[in-house]
Amino acid sequence: MAGRRRARSPWWARLCLVAGIVLTLASGASYAGTVLVTDRVDRSVPQADLLGDGGGRTPGSRVTGPLDILLAGSDLRRSWHRHQTENPRTDTIMWLHVPASYDHAYLLSIPRDLEVPIPYDPRTGRGGVSTKINAAFAWGMTGVDDVTGGMQNLHATLRRLTGESFSMAALVNWDGFTAIVSELGGVTLCVDRTFTSTQPTLGHHTFRKGCHHYDAELALALVRERYAYADSDYGRQRMQQQFIKQILQRATSAGVLTSPTKIDKVVGAAGKALTMDRDGYRLVDLVLALRRITPDAITSLQIAHTTLPDYNEQLVQPVDGELFRAMRTDRMDGFVLAHPELVAHGRGLGR
């Protein structure tokens, strides 16, 4: 059990990853009629070939068809170079599927402890064995700054696991989290029971039952909590998925979108937190295509899973294979109706 408690960075990436993307897209929407600002927003978020496909379609292409986006969070941050001698991992991995109707979306969490075959990477000489999926990113890096190699190896691992070749990707780093939440003025989160956090950073803060508004530090302590939940990391996933929806709600509120100053600050924070592979699409074109997707239109999902003797997670077949196939083939609406047990409801439950 001791090995299970050394969580490297289990919480933050899922929190600001989708939030950062939508913050940037939302800011682009408010300026959609201004070419100069549109270009500035496009340049605000660094781009890289995270999927290893050479950049995808022609820049400026029209957004068409369903979208499948690989979202990952790395524990790489400014302090990493001073204190670590190994490459960072991705303890947060998600698959965002947007159907061709562009009016709702599905967000699937891939557990960091899922045991999978990781392909051999000739650049690094690592892989070719089965282990936790969060090692794929580290094993694709030639050094702590090689995020492109890390993401490409993670993509290769997920492609073998799910059969999906993702069209876009985004990677978030730790330093962007508190800046995004702070620029939004905090976030409202709900818990079903009062409990005292196991996180020592704020003196084991007691979170009260109900919905309360939290600043960046308290939100951080709440969403990183793992041991206050009977089902551990899966309870934390539910809280983090609630966070995503709540922060998207705040990011697209009138108080943000009608304030050019606020937009500039939020875009700046998102730009420092994110690296994206947009497959040639402009941010403003993406937001125009996805403008009908509200936080309530995002269905959060978990895989079917079982725990191995070494506490790693394992897929449950045939249901997980059917889930991956439904995501790939844009048939999720029917799959969710047939498997409501895989829908992750938003609130985390304290003991």
- What six digits make up the tokens of 342? 């895989």
Q: Are 178 and 216 in contact (CB under 8 A)?
A: yes
d(C-alpha 41, C-alpha 45), whole Å: 7
Residue 99 lies in a domain: yes
d(C-alpha 105, C-alpha 155), whole Å: 20
Is residue 129 pLDDT above 80, yes or no?
Answer: yes
Where residue 236 falls among pLDDT bands split at 50, 70, 90? Answer: confident
Q: Domain range holding 46?
A: 2-183+246-337
Residue 174 lies in a domain: yes
d(C-alpha 42, C-alpha 44), whole Å: 6
Strand, helix or coil for residue 257: helix
pLDDT of residue 38: 55
Q: How many domains does the chain have?
A: 1
pLDDT of residue 33: 41
Residue 19 lies in a domain: yes
Q: Are 156 and 173 in contact (CB under 8 A)?
A: no
pLDDT over 70, % of the chain: 77
Output the average pLDDT for the chain: 78
Residue 30 lies in a domain: yes
Q: How many CB atoms lie within 10 A of CB 322?
A: 15
DSSP class of 121: B
pLDDT of residue 39: 60
> Pick from 164, 154, 124: which is nearest to 142 by CA?
124
Mind listing the pLDDT tens digit for each residue in 274-321?
A: 888 988 888 778 877 887 887 788 898 989 989 888 878 899 999 999
Where residue 348 falls among pLDDT bands split at 50, 70, 90? Answer: very low
Residue 232 lies in a domain: no
In this structure, what CATH number is given to the domain that contains residue 272? 3.30.420.590
Sign of CA dihedral 51, 54, 58, 60: positive
CA 79 to chain centre: 22
Higher pLDDT, 39 or 217: 217
Q: Which of 4-8, 255-259, 304-308 has the lowest mean pLDDT?
A: 4-8
Q: What is the mean pLDDT of residues 4-23?
A: 43
pLDDT of residue 339: 96
Residue 304 lies in a domain: yes
Residue 238 lies in a domain: no
d(C-alpha 277, C-alpha 67), whole Å: 13
Is residue 250 pLDDT above 50, yes or no?
Answer: yes
Where residue 46 falls among pLDDT bands split at 50, 70, 90? Answer: confident
Strands 67-74 and 168-172: parallel
Name the one residue in this structure whose structure tokens are 């094993």: 139
Residue 234 lies in a domain: no
Mind listing the pLDDT tens digit for each residue in 158-193?
A: 999 999 999 999 887 755 667 778 888 888 998 888
Q: Are 268 and 25 in contact (CB under 8 A)?
A: no
Mind listing the pLDDT tens digit for each residue in 76-99?
A: 555 545 455 667 777 778 899 999
pLDDT over 90, % of the chain: 31
Where residue 148 falls among pLDDT bands split at 50, 70, 90? Answer: very high
The DSSP line for 300-317 is: EEE--EEE-TTS-EEE-T
